[in-house]
Amino acid sequence: MKGQVFAITLVVMSGVATFIMFISTMDSLNLTRNTFYRDYGFADVFVNLKRAPESLKEKLKNVPGVNQVETRVSAYVKLDIGGFNEPVTARILSIPDDGKPLLNRLYIRKGRLADPAKDNEVVINENFAMAHGFGPGDQFAAVINGKWKKLTITGIALSPEFVLLMRPDAISPDFKRFGILWMGRKALSKSYNMDGAFNDVVLTLYPDAKLSDVLAELDNIVERYGGFGAYGRKDQISHRMLNEEFRQLQKSSKIFPTIFICVAAFLLNVVMSRTINTQREQIAALKAFGYNNTDVGIHYAKLVILILFAGLVLGIAGGIWFGKMLGAIYMEVYRFPYLIYILHNWVIIAAILISIASALAGTLHSLWRAARQQPAEAMRPEPPARYRVTLIEKIGIGRWLTQPSRIILRNIERKPVRTFLSILGIAAACATMISSGFFKDSVAYMINVQFILSQKEDMTVSFAEPTSRRAIYELKGLEGVNSAEPFRTVPARFRFGHRSYKTAINGIEPDSRLHLLLDNDFKPLSLPPSGIVLTDYLGKMLGVKAGDMLTVEVLEGSKPVREILVSALVKQYLGVTGYMDIKALNRIMGEGSAISGAYLATDSMFREKLYQRFVKMARVSGTVVRGDEIRNFNEIQARAMLFFTFIATLMACFISFGVVYNSARIALSERSRELSSLRVLGYTRGEISYILLGELGLLTLIAIPFGFIIGYWLCGYIAQALASDLFRVPLIIELKTYSLSAAVIFVSAAVSSLIVRHKLDHLDLVEVLKTRE
């Protein structure tokens, strides 16, 4: 039973390890986040506005429920980093002149805070510093309110506000091309003419405060100062992304361990049934000596727990190891000053209890059967097994089958439940493999749809302020720009019935050739002259269909509120937005032909020159290059993907090895007499191997299409579970993923078979003939 216990150990270990890995990583990140939030005063509410006098602070403080208030100056700046010829932008934030922010305090990793009076000193965030190899004392340039300025780094910092740092509208974190700078309030205010004023507020609330009431009141107060809408933590991007990550970990902690535990329970069931069957006589003897059913039951339950023991110990150790590894991978993207690894006792206890309970549940039936037997009955050998002619033979192919093939078919049919569960087990292994490949496939597909079919621009230029449409001509005139199309983006809140969602309206050219909207069949959709088009997922969130009237509250300028017809829903995997004809949006805003920026198609030869140009153009606040964005996205994805693929492959191999090897060993033990008889009759080793391994091959062959179906279903479930307004994962599984999964299963089945084949070659013919089953 050594080999079988080993196989079960692997499966139990995988289940326990994944369970502990996911839960401990989630708990650790959660604890780390909460500790960091608490120790560094993460704000509860965030408000951006155009400009308000410092005196407004008192008024904000008096809003019922508000505890602490801190005003800040915030702006987006372009950076000019020597030796890095790609556009880089940053958000620059003020820190109070006393150097001690009340909220969102900085954890200084290296160096010191900036001198509040000096407008050439900044603290930068750690990811950004690491991406560029910056340390205190290093210098780079920034265009601050139109003025090119050399900045010196005084410190490297982390903030609870930017645990995950992402440029607004970006598809993934990009530490090279987006950073956070902190500068003294006095110096920054001077640069932006914000003396005695602010344009950014962060607040904390009392525990009993009602968030929606506070937000409404704050919006009310800052409205006439150009407020863009207050929002709570749950809409703060860094916090949101962390929450999404926790949600994924939580789902994963349920799905994968469940698969393993079920497989382990099944394997234990098979092994225990067999063990009990061969020990009928011992059981009978024990009972004849006066042991009762409970004693016998406990004896075997102990055996089950003993078998589980190694798996549990290794699983707990492996789970901690993997958990720390996964935590480290998260830490590359999510910046905490430290990671507090925590494994709650209850997680270990739960893992142990769940494993034992499901293992016992899996073996209960055979235990019960053993306990029920009368001693006298148990001492007699089991009657010969009953077989039938299988259905498959009856339908006509029977004549063509050799006897060994018949043996295979009839054995499979005689134990339909076990056969079914074996198939299910191998299929689960295959499905696990598919689910790991699925991410790669769907992300590639998502990128393709988003950037090859839909957003064809290779560069996006944003203006600091809404600008006249004439600026387009200036851009078009630049060397290297093949075409340019304007866009206008305004923040807005959409309401439908009792549901609302805050996002943006993107006004684009109705016959845009760079920025296409796609219908469900990925065909370009032309924008109607009036009416609004929503991302399909936004429509789902709001419960809106094409043809409904949507209430649109613009959160910029004169803040118009309009009822607008939803003319269509469009396919989009990243983010959620409303789209309008740019002219229609301009009309609603009552602003003439203003634009927020432009999409460009450029000549790659001139691209570097263009960045340089844009850095110097005062009205350009930022430039994004599509190619950089995609490359960065792939890099960030790749590392995490590699880890998950590695884990999934390992686990899938363990499952399929566990199932196939166990089936083979059980079959060998049940049929060694039969196989020996055939050897005596002159069958070769190869011929009897065919009977045993052919059966497993057949099961594997049947299991793989099932695995494809279960895998597809599992991926569908994962895709659905992960869908959020940030991104939707399309259910795309490439042929490559299917074939790789099938190959992994076949190889691990083949390896298990080889091990069993080795045993088969050493059957003791004489020994087997002497014994009666």
Partner 1 sequence: MIDKEEETHNTRDVVFQVRDLTKIYKMGEVEVHALRGADLELYSGEIVVFLGPSGSGKSTLLNILGGLDTATSGSVSYRGKDLTNASEQELTEYRRYHVGFVFQFYNLIPSLTARENVEVVTEIAENPMVPEDALAIVGLTERLDHFPAQLSGGEQQRVAIARAISKNPEVLLCDEPTGALDSKTGIVVLEALERINRELGTATAIITHNADIAGMADRVIYLSNGIISEVKTNTVKKAPGELKW
Binding site for partner 1 (CB under 8 A): 383-389, 402-403, 406-407, 410-411, 414, 673-674, 677-685, 687, 765-766, 769-770, 772
Residue 334: phi and psi, rounded to 5, are: -95, 120
Burial track 585-622 (b if 16+ CB lie within 10 A, e otherwise)? bbbbbeeebbbbbbbbebeeeebeebbebbbebeebbb
Tell me the C-alpha distance between 341 and 322, whole Å. Answer: 12
What distance in Å separates the CA atoms of residue 43 and residue 218, rounded to the nearest whole number? 15
The H-assigned helical ranges of 681-722 are 685-722
Nearest distance in Å: CB 388, partner 1: 8
∠ CA(508), CA(513), CA(515), 5° rounding? Answer: 50
Q: Judge contact between 489 and 504, C-beta under 8 A.
A: yes
Nearest distance from residue 690's CB to partner 1, in Å? 12
Structure tokens at 765: 């013919």
Minimum CB–partner distance for residue 760 and partner 1 (Å): 13
For the CB of residue 645, give the shortest distance to partner 1 in the complex, in Å: 42
* Residue among 403 and 739 whose Cβ is closer to partner 1: 403
Closest approach, Cβ 409 to partner 1, in A, equals: 9
Q: To the nearest whole angstrom, how small is the minimum distance from the Cβ of residue 381 to partner 1?
A: 10
Residue where the block lists tokens 């050799």: 402
- Closer residue to partner 1, CB minimum distance, 8 or 407: 407
Q: Report how far residue 293's alpha carbon sits from residue 275's, in angstroms, rounded to the nearest whole number.
A: 17
User: Least distance (Å) from partner 1 to the CB of residue 8?
Assistant: 27
Residue placing its CB nearer to partner 1 in the complex, 553 or 687: 687
Closest CB to partner 1 among residues 264, 691: 691
What single letter denotes the amino acid at residue 386?
A: R
Q: Which CB atom, from 412 or from 588, has the smaller least distance to partner 1?
A: 412
Closer Cβ to partner 1, 645 or 669, answer by number: 669
**Contact, 602 vs 494, CB < 8 A?**
no
Closer of 322 and 683 to partner 1 (Cβ) = 683
Count Cβ neighbours within 10 Å for each residue of 482-493 and write b for 16 or more, e otherwise. Answer: eebbbbbbbbbb
Distance from the first to the final alpha carbon of the chain: 18
| CB closer to partner 1 out of 393 and 457 | 393
The tokens 């704050």 sit on which residue? 218
Q: Which two tokens stand for residue 526?
A: 């032309």
Closest CA to 20 of 356, 431, 354, 437: 354
**Residue 681 Cβ, how far from partner 1 at the closest point, in Å?**
6
Residue for token digits 């929606």? 212
Nearer Cβ to partner 1 (2/399): 399
Q: Which amino acid is at 171?
A: I
Q: State the nearest-atom distance from the C-beta of 398 to partner 1, in Å.
A: 10
Neighbours of 206 (CB within 10 A): 12
Residue ranges of E strands in 98-165: 107-111, 121-125, 139-144, 147-158
Cβ proximity to partner 1, 114 vs 675, nearer residue: 675
Chain-centre distance for alpha carbon 440: 11
One-letter amino acid of 111: G
Rounded least distance, CB 392 to partner 1, Å? 14
The nearer residue to partner 1, 500 or 684, going by C-beta atoms, is 684
Rounded to a whole number of angstroms, the minimum distance from the CB of residue 379 to partner 1 is 17
Burial of 86 (0-12, 13-18, 19+ CB in 10 A): middle
Query: What is the C-alpha to C-alpha distance for residues 442 and 212, in angstroms, rounded to an integer?
Result: 37
